Amino acid sequence: MIDAYDRICEASRSLELEMPGRLSGASQDDPELVPLSRCRYDFSLEVSDSTKVPKGLHRARRAEGLWATVRVNGDFEAVDRAWNLLFKSWLPESGLNLRNASAEEIYHQTPNEIGWDRFDLTLAIPVEAG
């Protein structure tokens, strides 16, 4: 994961973009089902449509639609608790359903700023009317 993060940092520098608020990530695996060491995680950097994507990265679009969000600031356990509350408590009670898109973590502070043991994120899950 750190190698991917380093690549997205280099892309940010080459594009002269500040990352907080533009950097997001999405896990491709459920850490309750897949060992953390085997979980896949994709970083994204929000750019305009006219931005030339640096070599080694690809362009993707965030799914349009309604997103349920919550901001969390804390360690890994705090982030895990927030995800669990969103998926296991809030979502079933909301009357909404998940859309076919990845949930995301939007970084307000990057690991370069606060390290890998503390996070300042907005958690976002794609939802639609039930």
Distance CA 42, CA 65 (A): 20
> For the chain, what are the domain ranges?
2-129
Per-run averaged pLDDT (10 residues), the chain, 130 residues? 84 85 87 87 90 86 92 95 96 96 94 92 94
- The reported pLDDT for the residue numbered 128 is 96
The upper half-sphere exposure of residue 116, i.e. CA atoms within 13 Å in the direction of its Cβ, equals: 4
pLDDT at 103: 94
To 10 degrees, the CA torsion angle through 109, 69, 74, 92? -160
In degrees, rounded to 5, the angle at the alpha carbon of residue 71 between the alpha carbons of residues 68 and 76 is 115
State which CATH number among 1.10.357.10, 3.20.20.70, 1.20.1730.10, 3.20.80.10 fits the domain covering 2-129: 3.20.80.10
Q: How many CB atoms lie within 10 A of CB 13?
A: 11
Q: Are 22 and 48 in contact (CB under 8 A)?
A: no
